[in-house]
Chains A and B, each alone.
Chain A
Amino acid sequence: MSTDGTDGVDDLELPADLAALIGGLPMEIEPDRDLWEGVEAAVAPVPLPLRAARRSWLPLALAAATLIGALAAWSVRPVAPGDVREETTQAAVRWEDDVRATTDELEAVLERRRGELDPQALAVIERALADIDAAIADVHRALAADPGNDALAAALADVWQRKVHLLRNAAELAEAG
């Protein structure tokens, strides 16, 4: 038995006056300012410097180099038992076909417009894509050997997202001329 006088508080009904006030609370309150800009800045792993890109391929090359570095870091990351996540492997890989359809479309755009890209930028992009594809293949092999490893499944989804970001930026850069 509790000594704090709260026994049975679960069984107590919410006082009517309080219940009425709570019922009148709005379920949605818009923030005073638009927070999207901050969210977007935090989640976009590769900036979209279209204006700058028209002048130079450097921003994208830097972004791709960063991506390669991130992949290198990921590839040596130990997948310890403690890193295994609660979510299921199926949840992490179920989107793969959808994502592959997206990357196929973007690769087709890039292929059509590759002549409009700076050759050095194109080389950086192609190296990054090769690294990503190699990483995807590696994770597939690892998952085949350890299909219940949720950390690997999450890593697979992460690498696919990185591929989409790189391709989307490359395609936009090519279309921007």
Chain B
Amino acid sequence: MPLPDRTPSPLVDPRVAAAVGGDLRAFEGLYRDHVGRVHALALRMCGRGAFAEEMTQEVFVKAWRKLHLFDGRSRFSTWLHRLAVNTVVDGMRHEAHEPEATENVAELPDNVRYLRQGRIDLERAIAGLPTKARMVFVLHDVEGYKHEEIAEMMGISGGTARGQLHRARGLLREVLR
């Protein structure tokens, strides 16, 4: 069977090729380098530490299983980040233990209300946002995705994504005022 061109790409971390070949230690190295970035994303999107850790683990399990499909045309970190977003969005969609979205600032939990006391903590404010608004805000304003990408990843319309961003910014500005 003719095999495709295998000219090594400078973008490919040699540990990726080793991990594709079954080298778990190489994959652990990739995990160590990227776990902080993946966990930060999961934590902000989930709003809850334990679930974020669960999602972070799931991202790396999926990465191992899909690693042979990484073609080296983008950076491994870019590929992993997109996989992480999709995994967390999917996990959030199927999780039943997410508390019902808070509908307005007056009902925001204590971890957001205390911002009014002058203790600025954006992480906590983000965690206190309603679920969809939080996810769109993190993806758009923190991670830099476009509305069309967010809409596709979350299975919502572009208009809904824009609306949720508008809502998230409004809520955050309200508590930061």
Contacts and interface: CB of A to CB of B under 8 A. Distances in A.
B132 interface: no
B87 to A, nearest CB: 13
Contacts of B65: 43
Interface stretch (A1-9, A53-61, A123-131): A1-9
Interface in A158-177: 158, 160-161, 164-165, 168
A90 B7 CA distance: 12
A138 interface: no
Contacts of B57: 35, 38-39, 42
Most chain A CB atoms below 10 A, which of B52, B57, B165: B57
Given A27-B37, A87-B71, A164 B3 contact: no
Nearest to B53: A31
B49 A32 contact: yes
B141 interface: yes
B116 interface: no
Contacts of A30: 35-36, 39
Contacts of A91: 68-71
Contacts of B172: 18
Nearest to A101: B21
Interface of A is mostly: helix
Count class of interface residues, chain B = 35 or more
Count class of interface residues, chain A = 35 or more
Contacts of B52: 31
B17 to A, nearest CB: 5
Contacts of A43: 24, 27, 60-61, 64-65
A21 B172 CA distance: 11
A5 B167 CA distance: 10
A27 B40 contact: yes
A29 to B, nearest CB: 4
Interface of B: 1, 3-4, 6, 17, 20-24, 27-28, 31-32, 35-37, 39-40, 43, 49, 52-53, 56-57, 60-61, 64-65, 68-72, 120, 122-123, 141-142, 147, 159, 162-163, 165-166, 169, 172-173, 176
